[in-house]
Copies of this chain bind each other. A is one copy, B any other.
């Protein structure tokens, strides 16, 4: 359960409200929203839940954990459905107690990323304490390259458990990979100072990195929220509806975690109920209708990239 608590802590941080940085006149006051599901490939339950929420719900994007055992199932879906939106959930942790995975790169090239059993470390702290930056980059490039080799069309990058935001050199690599591969990275336009305690890697040349992304035509997000907490379905649904009703103009992302409750997911993570609930909520006709009524434009990372790139092209 340590992994669960660790993720929970990170999620509470991400759930902060970040004031929309894009002025209304820059986007005609429009509210663009990416509804994004993490952890595709992590398990069959997550694959099933993610695909259902993309097919039947309003989840507009998902990101994939390439080192995980169920990658081939999700990769096959992505190849068969190239119109949908996929990113790489850059992964340097194998956080669960019962169920583990190994890196994509050859292990002798990334020894500082591995625990004594040859899996990736469970905790983000262990990665921060032990990982060599050059080996992190080898592994992350291996993940992106492997996904491309498997025929997955990619739209963006983000970071599993926020680990790559915790050390300046890892955050540097994260942004550089986005530029090198011409893929947007999950990057918030403004970080409240108190959040830097959780993600100390962000404080190093933050503005310069934002400028680097934007000058390369890569979008940054005005608002990011995540609600990785359990609770009754109606309470959780009300929370999400509240988030949706209070969206400000600009580019926002709601990060969710879709899955199916069942023995597999319950044996992996204490978050099984909330993952099942996220899947249901973002297929709920009332939630879908509310988004429509409010005139919120649900978009993909690919569309966000195109929107960000256009002004650059005109320069």
Integer count of this chain's copies in the complex: 2
Q: Are A263 and B44 in touch, CB under 8 angstroms? A: yes
Within 8 A of B (CB), among A34-71: 43-45, 48, 69-71
Cβ contact within 8 Å between B45 and A263: yes
A43 to B48, CA, bound (A): 17
CB neighbours (8 Å) of A306 from chain B are none
**How many residues on A have C-beta within 8 angstroms of the other chain's C-beta atoms?**
31
A150, closest chain B residue (CB): B117
Taking A70-B98, A76-B98 as known contacts, 9 extra A-B pairs with beta carbons closer than 8 A to each other, sorted by chain A number, are A44-B267, A48-B267, A69-B69, A72-B98, A73-B98, A102-B102, A262-B262, A262-B263, A264-B264
- A41 CB to nearest B CB, Å: 10
A42 to chain B, nearest CB (A): 10
Known: A260-B263, A263-B45. A69 touches B101 (CB 8 A): yes
User: Does A197 reach chain B (CB closer than 8 Å)?
Assistant: no
In the assembled complex, which residues on chain B have CB atoms less than 8 Å from the CB atom of A146?
Answer: 117-118
Bound CA span A268–B149, Å = 23
Please, what's the 1-or-0 string for A84-108, where 1 marks a CB less than 8 Å from any CB in chain B? 0000000000000111111010111
Contact digits for A136-154, partner B, Cβ 8 Å, 1 yes 0 no: 0000000000100110000
Indicate which residue in B73, B100, B106 contacts A108 across the interface (CB closer than 8 Å).
B106
CA distance A73 to B262 in the complex (A): 17
C-alpha spacing A105/B69, complex, angstroms: 17
How far apart are A160's CB and chain B's nearest CB, in angstroms? Answer: 16
Contact mask for chain A residues 253-292; partner B; CB cutoff 8 A; 1 contact, 0 none: 0000000101110011000000000000000000000000
Report chain B residues within 8 Å CB of A106.
Answer: 106-108
Q: How far is the CB of A113 from chain B (nearest CB, A)?
A: 13
- Chain B residue at minimum C-beta to C-beta distance from A111: B106
Set of chain B residues within 8 Å of A99, measured between Cβ atoms: 44, 69-70, 72-73
Q: What 1/0 mask marks residues of chain A from 147 to 182 whose CB sits below 8 Å from any chain B CB? A: 001100000000000000000000000000000000
Per CB-CB distance, the 7 closest pairs between chain A and chain B, nearest first, are: A73-B98, A264-B264, A69-B69, A44-B267, A106-B107, A102-B102, A106-B108
